[in-house]
Amino acid sequence: MSKAFEQLDKMPRVRLGHAPTPLEAMVNLGRRYGGRTLYVKRDDCTGLAFGGNKVRQLEFYFGEAVSKGADTMLITGAVQSNFVRLTAAACAVLGMECHIQLEDRVPGTDATYNASGNVILDKLLGARLYSYADGEDEEGADRRLHEIAGQLSAQGRNPYVIHLAPGHKPLGALGYLAAARELLDQISRDGLTIDEIVVASGSGNTHAGLLFGLRALGSLVPVIGVCVRRGAEGQFRRIKDRLQQIADMLSVDPVTEDDDVVLNDTFLPPSYGRLNEPTIAAIKAAARLEGLILDPVYTGKTMAGFLQRAEDAEHGRSLLFIHTGGQPALFGYEKELSAALD
């Protein structure tokens, strides 16, 4: 076992999800794309409150929080954030208070976006909601969380803040080191060959954690990050920083090179959380050919990038799509999706 994984297994962790998640062939999509061999890692099936990739990440945030005696969790995210929804669910399981700050990150939204999908789930799960007007001010959003945490401390609570901005330990990335080990075990068990992996690249925890974990275990499979929040140049810096932070957390040497960080921002426009035609086409194709439900913000855009890679890949190469979940956000886009599906 590598030193990184020896250290990983010593980190505080609270088990919250179902694992291993399924690794499945996408036969119908493969046929559409010239007989390519396509797979999906079903991290939408992690179990907790509709599941998704954030379940793996939260196991390490809650591990540290519980180790510090926290009884209250605070987190900030977009109105339709899957991360905040799953934080609320984990709090419900663990008997903790949950305080969620929702940022006005997506322009031009309607009442459905602001009240349905993940928002109604946040409320159902018992979280207290706050608003933050500037969706592009990560440091300011974190500062506001600390102000709320200070008020809760004064009331006798012991709060723990899950930060948004860079500069804090990306504990969530550790969940995807563990996922890399799980994935390689499945590939070995089933005798599969995977030539390329495609994953959403937003906060960077999933992308960087998966990449670091694979390289620490000796796998050189390329990992393509599809940009869903910022352009490739800014995201490259973020992933590099995340990779160094992971090495620092685990007290190991870096295991990646700059060339390992591969990004595609073709499907990001017009901006975070806003639909485009290739994303709608990818959502429809996944649903109608594989029964896979994707969301407009992360997995829809990532599938658009994945299908582009499938179209361009040489025959005989096999590609893996990481399904990071997020389906409840679909309901916030009812107007746009209904128009596209008529």
**Catalytic site positions:** 81
8 A C-beta contact, residue 322 and residue 299 = no
**Could you tell me which residues come within 8 angstroms of residue 339 by beta carbon, excluding any fewer than 6 positions away?**
none
Q: Please give the sequence-ordered ranges of beta strands (E in DSSP) within the chain, or none if there are none.
A: 23-25, 37-42, 72-78, 97-103, 128-132, 159-162, 196-201, 223-227, 262-264, 318-323
Q: Looking up tokens 């389906």, which residue turns up? A: 327
CA-based torsion, 154, 158, 162, 163: positive or negative: positive
- In the sheet that holds 37-42, the strands lie side by side as 23-25, 37-42, 318-323, 196-201, 223-227, 262-264
8 A C-beta contact, residue 227 and residue 189 = no
8 A C-beta contact, residue 57 and residue 206 = yes
